[in-house]
Structure 1
Amino acid sequence: MWTSGRMSNAKSWLGLGMSLYFWGLMDLTTTVLSGTPTPPGKLEALLSDKPQTHSRTKRSWVWNQFFVLEEYTGTDPLYVGKLHSDMDRGDGSIKYILSGEGAGIVFTIDDTTGDIHAIQRLDREERAQYTLRAQALDRRTGRPMEPESEFIIKIQDINDNEPKFLDGPYVATVPEMSPVGTSVIQVTATDADDPTYGNSARVVYSILQGQPYFSVDSKTGVIRTALMNMDREAKEYYEVIIQAKDMGGQLGGLAGTTTVNITLSDVNDNPPRFPQKHYQMSVLESAPVSSTVGRVFAKDLDEGINAEMKYTIVDGDGADAFDINTDPNFQVGIITVKKPLSFESKKSYTLKVEGANPHLEMRFLNLGPFQDTTTVHISVEDVDEPPIFEPGFYFVEVPEDVAIGTTIQIISAKDPDVTNNSIRYSIDRSSDPGRFFYVDITTGALMTARPLDREEFSWHNITVLAMEMNNPSQVGSVSVTIKVLDVNDNAPEFPRFYEAFVCENAKAGQLIQTVSAVDLDDPHSGQHFYYSLAPEAANNPNFTIRDNQDNTARILTRRSGFRQQEQSVFYLPILIADSGQPVLSSTGTLTIQVCGCDDDGHVLSCSPEAYMLPVSLSRGALIAILACIFVLLGNTSWKKIRLLG
């Protein structure tokens, strides 16, 4: 155990373990209520200024609150203070006992002298105070000489912690061209020292790196812009170092730093500019519509939406032949073919192209117009093109009775190139498998090669080819539609076999049949048929014909008194004529049978043998006779079956 003799007075003067204590005997009075003394160890009560109204007792403990500086780094134990009892006569009969927080681990006591020492380094930021209890015992008997008393050892702060930026490093963004004093970000440093004691935790901010572009508020840590017109295109990234120093920034204070990475964000403060004022491009005359001719680019130092571009053709003689679109990924203008080109018609074009920012900021309009123009010269290059037909489609109408070898159309094609090569014509045979036509190889005269029949093929669609004589690979084609016109070359006729009957009891003028006709021809004015009896039957006494004027005709009786026994069948020749030029006709025959009918005109039989029975028999009698015949036939068949059995 350490003794007070090992601690020199110099340590106290240096502040290592400076403590307050009362030495020697000191009379302390305690107010006793109802004869009961105040519990020992309550120093505040013992030192109270209240008047003493009861008996005074003698207090044996002499002590006070202790203070000790943190972070002692010496090799010897740190002296804290002394406990002493007025019952201690210095003969070693009193034994001092220390208990409570840190007793025996952090603090020890000399049980003879009462000297308290710290045996570990103390850190206020880990623990600011310790509460301990002290007791004096009779060394011989172990009996308490004093009641146990509580006291506090407070750890006094020293400036041993530098300010720290717990959220660093920082990242911030501020728009370029921001006014001076624009707030960028606030940084905060914390100091673990006691803010209630001295200036150990009072932090002051300063900027170590980043001037003259930025400044920092010494009290709040707010970083602001400090330079006018900072340009992102000149310098985009800044590394600013901020220092936080305690002790109010005074000499000897501790400091900590952090890094703030500041990026200037883009604003639209740069107009686009074409690096080339003239572009030279070329395109084949055979280039299809929408194909790409070339690209132009207006450079913009800005980025993102501020660098977006819109290209337009604002002037030039090629505005109707070319178009321009903006590629949103690369912000280039793509010039494309707007309509078919022809080297023979126009060999070159000039375009005036404008590139402009669609997103503008009004405050930067004074920097100039946010668009630029360039001139594009486009040359059209010649290619060997196939022959071209004029016109590009033919429609021909031909009567079906046209003579073989008749020229029905002259097909014309020419070489569009400057060389104007000779042309040879032919027919694509897959379009004319029946070989109804042929074309003259040099003149392009389209002629008939076979008789045409509208009723067989009313339309022909053929393809005529034109080939350059000097370059057979260059072949053009044209479609020729041929409509075969109708001529009156088919006579009308009955659509089917007509067979009618006439009752024996028919009267004169009775309708027995209505007939119609068909004609394969198709005149423009429509079909109109005429009906009459053939010349050989013009004076037929039995039947006559009436034309209904609707392409049908009625056959009527001219007399009565038809008899099957006299004539059972009549053949009536009918002449059918059309209205064409020339008029065509045919003769059709109507077969008329004479039949026996009842009074209502219903046919009973058209066979002469059925009328060998007396004609006076009624319908009922005839039915009875027929029934008997069927019975007899049935019996005869049954007998035959039995004989066979």
Structure 2
Amino acid sequence: MASHRTAWILLLLLLCGLSCPVVLSVHMESGGSGLEESGDGGLLGGGRVKRGWVWNQFFVVEEYTGTEPLYVGKIHSDSDEGDGSIKYTISGEGAGTIFLIDELTGDIHATERLDREQKTFYTLRAQARDRQTGRLLEPESEFVIKVQDINDSEPRFLGGPYIGSVAELSPIGTSVMQVMASDADDPTYGSSARVVYSVLEGEQHFTVDSKTGVIRTAVANLDRETQDRYEVVVRATDMAGQLGGLSGSTTVTIVITDVNDNPPRFPQKMYQFSVAESAPVGMLIGKVKAEDSDVGENTDMTYQVKDEEGLGAFRVTTDSNTQEALISVQKPLNFEAQNVHTLVVEALNKFADPRFVDLGAFRDQAIVRVSVLDVDEPPEFQLPDGLMEVQEDAAVGSVVGVVSALDPDAANRPVRYAIDHSADLEQIFSIDPQTGAVVTTQVLDRETAGWHNITVLAMEADNHTQVSRKPFRIRILDVNDNPPELATPYEAAVCEDAKPGQLIQTISVVDPDEPQSGHRFYFTLAPEGSSNHRFSLLDVEGNSLEGSRKHNDMKRPLVYTHIKLNPSVSLPTTTS
């Protein structure tokens, strides 16, 4: 019997080697002698078995498409004598539905198509019972049926949609992004889940690392202005890319981001504007704009006046919102002085990339011609200070001064003059409407009014609405036309015991005239008093207009002298 059992074991081993899913079943006698199973599933020779069940792992190939149930393996008890007295049953996952067992032989078949990607193994329990009594002949034992993988799942990209970006003009090999595909097949069994990557579409511009799925640039001349995005199709193939492997693909959108590699460009090289010569300082006369094929802040630019024949008559500023150059008046314009101004306006990148700035390539220039339009302007006065002088003794009709005004326009129309008598109510002066000669119409008196103000109007002869106004000040020059006068009436008194040489009275005089060099006054006694030798006059030193001002702060000149008794004369005691 021992040799018979050994031969049966070798036959089963041979069958297992030929067909892996076949169970290794060892028939053992109830006495328990025979082979025992090692911890790793091997068989150990010698000794008694430690249990009545013997089998290797059970396998069933997934996706079986045959018409007959698929044989999985056999469970067997060493107490089975082959007489049909033992009934084999199973319980657990799929028992009675997915897996059926032959009660007599213990053969197990799979009745359904299994998918390892849904369930990788099933855990069941085996029972061996006496067919008559139902008594368990062996302890219930657990076993596992593993679903064996086949390459039935293609790689799938689960992270899509993929959108990456890379700056234009990036060097070859610049990393863009990484894609990853997963394969539901068993990664521990063969190469079914070993994925490699390749580029199906877009390989002219991009590559993909076959192992990591990292996408990189394949060229260095990616230009956003030419093409701003690419659709790259990446394929993932299992079986390490070998023939017969399954594959899946995904589309990767790669956006080319902008760098400031383009200069501003004026769409035309010359612009023309016109402005009236009367335009106020700060007035906007026109806009120009350079174009930049970049995007975002790379289109920001500034403008400046590079050269101008008009010597700063205009200024250029930048509108930060529209990126336009705003040309405005900076100085008053004059058609007669210069009727055409030529400016060279320069546009520059505000945020120029130093990698691309060379030889001034990131700027452009345009010529701007500004025509100044003539405006009918009122006459302009030629006397800047507006001061005239005339002596107070000038006869009526004397010329005080001549006013001159010219028409600044190219037509040079004749000018007519008038005095605005709303400001000169006394009408002391008049003006010749053609020559502009200002003459007196009344007698002048400096002591009454030393200054006069008049406003002269200059207007075009055929258009009195074109009028200019200019105030003039007329100073009346003094002449010595007033005699000195006593400052106040004087009455002197002297005591009879006055001593010779005693001061009796100090008198002062005033003169309303104001000569440039000052007056010099001389005092003498009147003829009727000159025969009286009892009194004399003492002239005060410095008795001039300037000297009097040092002693008096009156508006009219004041000078004075002293009256004294003669030292050699005695007054009569009866004279007072």
TM-score range, shorter chain: 0.5 to 0.7
**What residue number does 1:385 align with?**
377
Select which of 110, 130, 141 maps to 2:133. Answer: 141
1:344 partner letter: E
CA contact (8 A) 1:70 1:122 kept: yes
Cα deviations by residue, 1:534-570 (Å, 9 ceiling, x for unpaired):
xxxxxxxxxxxxxxxxxxxxxxxxxxxxxxxxxxxxx
Is 1:246 paired with 2:238? yes
Using structure 1 for the length normalisation, give the TM-score: 0.61
**What residue number does 1:172 align with?**
164
% of aligned pairs identical?
54
How far is the alpha carbon of 1:278 from its aligned partner? 3.2
How far is the alpha carbon of 1:151 from its aligned partner? 0.8
CA contact (8 A) 1:269 1:367 kept: no
What is the CA–CA distance in structure 2 between the aligned matches of 1:420 and 1:255, rounded to whole Å?
93
How far is the alpha carbon of 1:341 from its aligned partner? 0.8
Select which of 219, 224, 232 maps to 1:227. Answer: 219
What is the CA–CA distance in structure 1 between the aligned matches of 2:398 and 2:128, rounded to whole Å?
151
What is the CA–CA distance in structure 1 between the aligned matches of 2:450 and 2:390, rounded to whole Å?
10
Is 1:95 paired with 2:87? yes
**What residue number does 1:315 align with?**
307
**What residue number does 2:499 align with?**
none
2:272 partner letter: Q
CA contact (8 A) 1:29 1:57 kept: no
**What residue number does 1:189 align with?**
181
What is the CA–CA distance in structure 2 between the aligned matches of 1:480 and 1:451, rounded to whole Å?
19
1:351 partner letter: L
Higher mean alpha-carbon deviation, 56-65 vs 146-155, is at 56-65
**What residue number does 1:515 align with?**
none
RMSD between aligned residues: 4.9
Select which of 258, 278, 282 maps to 2:270. Answer: 278
**What residue number does 1:163 align with?**
155
Q: What SS does structure 1 have at the residue aligned with 2:73?
A: strand
What is the CA–CA distance in structure 1 between the aligned matches of 2:408 and 2:416, rounded to whole Å?
15
**What residue number does 1:21 align with?**
23
Q: What SS does structure 2 have at the residue aligned with 1:67?
A: strand
**What residue number does 1:116 align with?**
108
Q: What SS does structure 2 have at the residue aligned with 1:144?
A: coil
Is 1:579 paired with 2:574? no
CA contact (8 A) 2:41 2:56 kept: no
CA contact (8 A) 1:203 1:246 kept: yes
How far is the alpha carbon of 1:202 from its aligned partner? 0.9
How far is the alpha carbon of 1:133 from its aligned partner? 1.0
CA contact (8 A) 1:343 1:380 kept: yes
CA contact (8 A) 1:29 1:58 kept: no
**What residue number does 2:200 align with?**
208
Select which of 32, 35, 44 maps to 1:49. Answer: 44
The 3 A distance-change label for structure 1 pair 580 and 473 is closer
Cα deviations by residue, 1:584-635 (Å, 9 ceiling, x for unpaired):
9xxxxxxxxxxxxxxxxxxxxxxxxxxxxxxxxxxxxxxxxxxxxxxxxxxx
What is the CA–CA distance in structure 1 between the aligned matches of 2:421 and 2:109, rounded to whole Å?
124
CA contact (8 A) 1:313 1:319 kept: no
**What residue number does 1:151 align with?**
143
**What residue number does 1:470 align with?**
462
The runs of 5 or more residues in structure 2 that have no matched partner are 1-14, 488-511, 515-551, 560-576
The runs of 5 or more residues in structure 1 that have no matched partner are 1-12, 33-37, 494-520, 524-576, 585-645
CA contact (8 A) 1:162 1:191 kept: yes
What is the CA–CA distance in structure 2 between the aligned matches of 1:401 and 1:109, rounded to whole Å?
154
Higher mean alpha-carbon deviation, 180-189 vs 302-311, is at 302-311
Cα deviations by residue, 1:303-342 (Å, 9 ceiling, x for unpaired):
4444443333333422322222233334443332221111
Higher mean alpha-carbon deviation, 282-291 vs 385-394, is at 385-394
Is 1:327 paired with 2:319? yes
Q: What SS does structure 2 have at the residue aligned with 1:346?
A: coil
CA contact (8 A) 1:213 1:227 kept: yes
The 3 A distance-change label for structure 1 pair 378 and 64 is same
1:20 partner letter: V
CA contact (8 A) 1:165 1:189 kept: yes
CA contact (8 A) 1:387 1:414 kept: yes
CA contact (8 A) 1:18 1:68 kept: no
Higher mean alpha-carbon deviation, 415-424 vs 210-219, is at 415-424
Cα deviations by residue, 1:246-272 (Å, 9 ceiling, x for unpaired):
111112211121222223333343344
CA contact (8 A) 2:424 2:454 kept: no
What is the CA–CA distance in structure 1 between the aligned matches of 2:391 and 2:45, rounded to whole Å?
147
Matches within 5 A, 1:8-87: 19-23=21-25, 25-26=27-28, 44=39, 49=44, 52=47, 56=48, 59-74=51-66, 77-87=69-79
Select which of 327, 337, 343 maps to 1:345. Answer: 337
Q: What SS does structure 1 have at the residue aligned with 2:240?
A: helix
Is 1:371 paired with 2:373? no
How far is the alpha carbon of 1:241 from its aligned partner? 1.0
The 3 A distance-change label for structure 1 pair 242 and 579 is same
Cα deviations by residue, 1:468-501 (Å, 9 ceiling, x for unpaired):
4434544444466899999xx9x9x9xxxxxxxx
What is the CA–CA distance in structure 1 between the aligned matches of 2:449 and 2:99, rounded to whole Å?
127
2:27 partner letter: L
**What residue number does 1:561 align with?**
none
1:49 partner letter: L
Residues paired across the two proteins, number: 480
What is the CA–CA distance in structure 2 between the aligned matches of 1:72 and 1:460, rounded to whole Å?
128
Cα deviations by residue, 1:379-420 (Å, 9 ceiling, x for unpaired):
221122234444578578999999999988766544322223
What is the CA–CA distance in structure 1 between the aligned matches of 2:75 and 2:93, rounded to whole Å?
17
**What residue number does 2:118 align with?**
126
What is the CA–CA distance in structure 2 between the aligned matches of 1:96 and 1:224, rounded to whole Å?
62
**What residue number does 2:517 align with?**
none
